[in-house]
């Protein structure tokens, strides 16, 4: 009984070890053979492992449901590895171009990913159309869907935040907070893109934080010195600052004059 338990534990460890390799698409590591191994070595390794991972053998072990599912996934991957490494042409293609070139599973996953990215572009285009019509709620919905489909695009996040910020149908605190959160995510996602910094500057402009607005515009223009919108906002900010300085000086002068007039009247 103790020997049976030990054998079962060893099988569970083997399942976990092989299952951890599935995401790497390293067929040599999956079969446990060196990269210089010939097709005969790949075949021998496959049949040795298939003896343990075959569905009939797995069903007799009494593994828990999760481990049994992992074991069956490993068996499918072992068969795929052998079919590729056991075929000279497919092996050469695999070694030169990677698993995506030869694996039906990888090609299917890659195609699905491309489809999601393409669909994300479609929703982004729809969102822009709603944005031009000032239908900000509909625009935000489209941009949110684009982000769901392609979470690597900081640009989609920027436009989502911008649509939320412009949507006056939402309570002010909510729309500003949600917009800021999406701009922050965009900056984190695309640190070398000027657009997230530009849109974050618009947020700080909306809440009246001119120092942070200036800092964001500087970041945007450091990344892209020719960004037209950032240059325009920087000029407007500089003009406001100059007017504010003149107004401040005028106020001080007026106060001094008033004080002098008051003293003169007392005399």
Residue 60 maps to which CATH number?
Answer: 1.10.287.110
Distances in whole angstroms, Cα of residue 84 to Cα of each of 10, 79, 189: 28, 9, 36
Alpha helices, H only, the chain = 2-19, 27-31, 39-53, 55-61, 65-85, 88-97, 104-132, 136-149, 154-166, 172-189, 194-207, 210-223, 228-266
Counting every residue written for the chain, the total comes to: 267
What are the pLDDT digits (tens) for 181-198? 999 999 999 878 999 999
Same-domain pairing of 236 and 122: yes
Same-domain pairing of 144 and 95: no
Residue pair 198/217 in contact by the 8 Å Cβ criterion: yes
CATH code, 209: 1.25.40.10
Same-domain pairing of 21 and 91: yes
Residue pair 187/225 in contact by the 8 Å Cβ criterion: no
How many other CB atoms are found less than 10 A from the CB of residue 222?
A: 11
**Per-residue model confidence (pLDDT) at position 105:** 62
Where in the sequence is the domain holding 162, given as residue range(s)? 113-242
Same-domain pairing of 157 and 216: yes
Same-domain pairing of 145 and 235: yes
**Per-residue model confidence (pLDDT) at position 24:** 81
Same-domain pairing of 167 and 194: yes
DSSP line for 15-65 = HHHHHTTGGGT-HHHHHT--TT--HHHHHHHHHHHHHHHSHHHHHHHT--H
Count of the separate structural domains present in the chain: 2
**Per-residue model confidence (pLDDT) at position 103:** 66
**Per-residue model confidence (pLDDT) at position 264:** 58
Going residue by residue through the chain, which has 267 residues, state the pLDDT in tens, using 9 for 90 and above: 455 566 688 899 999 999 999 878 888 999 999 999 888 999 999 999 999 999 988 888 888 888 999 999 999 989 988 988 888 888 888 888 776 666 666 556 656 667 888 899 999 999 999 999 999 999 999 999 999 999 899 999 999 999 999 999 999 999 999 999 999 999 999 878 999 999 999 999 999 999 999 999 999 999 999 999 999 999 999 888 776 555 444 454 455 556 556 655 555
Same-domain pairing of 126 and 236: yes
Among 163, 170, 180, which residue's Cα sits nearest to residue 128? 163
Same-domain pairing of 207 and 227: yes
Identify whether 18 is part of a domain: yes
Q: Which of 61, 81, 102 is at the close of a domain? A: 102
Same-domain pairing of 164 and 216: yes
Identify whether 73 is part of a domain: yes
**Per-residue model confidence (pLDDT) at position 247:** 47
Q: Which of 83, 102, 121 is at the close of a domain? A: 102
Same-domain pairing of 83 and 140: no
Rg of the Cα atoms in the chain: 32
How many other CB atoms are found less than 10 A from the CB of residue 124?
A: 21
Identify whether 80 is part of a domain: yes
């Amino acid at each position: 009984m103790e020997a049976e338990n030990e054998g079962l534990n060893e099988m569970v460890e083997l399942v976990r070890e092989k299952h951890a390799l599935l995401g790497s698409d390293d067929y040599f590591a999956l079969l446990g053979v060196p990269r210089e191994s010939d097709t005969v070595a790949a075949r021998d390794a496959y049949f040795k492992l298939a003896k343990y991972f075959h569905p009939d053998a797995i069903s007799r072990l009494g593994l828990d449901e999760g481990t049994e599912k992992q074991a069956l996934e490993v068996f499918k991957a072992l068969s795929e590895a052998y079919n590729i490494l056991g075929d000279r042409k497919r092996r050469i293609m695999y070694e030169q171009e990677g698993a995506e070139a030869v694996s039906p599973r990888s090609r299917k996953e890659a195609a699905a990913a491309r489809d999601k990215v393409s669909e994300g572009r479609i929703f982004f285009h729809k969102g822009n159309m709603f944005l031009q019509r000032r239908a900000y709620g509909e625009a935000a919905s489209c941009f949110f869907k684009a982000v769901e489909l392609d979470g690597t695009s900081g640009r989609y996040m920027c436009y989502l935040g911008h649509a939320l910020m412009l949507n006056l149908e939402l309570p002010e605190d909510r729309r500003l907070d949600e917009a800021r959160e999406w701009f922050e995510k965009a900056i984190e996602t695309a640190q070398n893109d000027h657009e997230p910094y530009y849109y974050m500057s618009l947020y700080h402009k909306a809440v009246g934080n001119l120092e942070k607005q200036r800092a964001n515009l500087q970041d945007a223009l450091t990344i892209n010195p020719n960004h037209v919108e950032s240059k325009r906002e920087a000029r407007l900010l500089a003009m406001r600052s100059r007017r504010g300085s003149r107004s401040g000086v005028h106020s001080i002068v007026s106060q001094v004059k008033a004080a002098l007039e008051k003293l003169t009247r007392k005399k």
